[in-house]
Amino acid sequence: MSGVKPRPRVLVVEDDENIRLAVSVELSANGLDVTSARSLGETGQALGSGRFDCVVFDRMLPDGDAVDFVQQQRNTGWPVPVLFLTARDSVADRISGFEHGGDDYLVKPFAMAELTARVLVLCRGSGKGRPVVLRHAGLEMDCARRQVRRGGVLLILSDKEFAVLEVLLARPGHAVSRAQLREHCWDSSVEPLSNVVDTVVLRLRRKLGSPELIHAVRGVGYRLA
């Protein structure tokens, strides 16, 4: 239909079938048009078939390390934002990912909600070089550098505080349930009746200061407003 904005296109490159399917389903459920590939060879074919707004790469693929592939593409002027998924979590590995042309880097195991939030940010910055900083009411989050500022002041957040805030920032104005936050920002060992979400949100509210940004939605969870 004329005037309808097309959905952002994302290519998911992952040789593990279960992870590839789970990521594809999650991103599709969040309004993205997802194509998948299992290798660098299939990636080249997919990239030749059309334009993408973001590519999610597992680093170690059957036919090579994705960082080498991305660097080769960058050398040709390829501008598409890239997020690397990997179990390699050393500082040197992360720096290598950025130096080879990556825009973001997420270590396995990861929360699906965090992955979705990061991909949405990259899609918004598609075609503009590195993604813009995610902003809301004086709050700024740089997902790649994992920095949060409010009113220009750098805030020191724990990993869980950052993850919860990132999910809320990806959906400003929308209610996110406690169950969703618990499922996507914690592992399966967390008890369903645990108050960990409320505890983290309480700490976030204190660190963010006033006026208050995170609001409780009665009977549901929280929203950024």
pLDDT of 193 higher than 80: no
Number of Cβ atoms within 10 Å of the Cβ of 157: 21
Delimit the CATH 3.40.50.2300 region(s) of the chain: 9-124
> How do residues 70-116 score in pLDDT, each as one tens digit?
988 887 778 889 999 988 777 777 777 887 888 888 888 888 988 99
Q: At what angle do helices 178-185 and 196-208 cross, to 10 degrees?
A: 90
Domain 134-224 has CATH 1.10.10.10: yes
Residues 6+ apart with CB under 8 A from 66: 13, 40, 57, 58, 59, 60, 84
pTM of the full structure: 0.57
Pick the CATH number of 9-124 from 3.20.20.60, 3.40.50.2300, 3.40.50.970, 3.20.20.150: 3.40.50.2300
| 165 close to 157: Cβ distance less than 8 angstroms | yes
> How do residues 109-147 score in pLDDT, each as one tens digit?
888 988 999 999 888 865 544 445 677 888 888 876 778
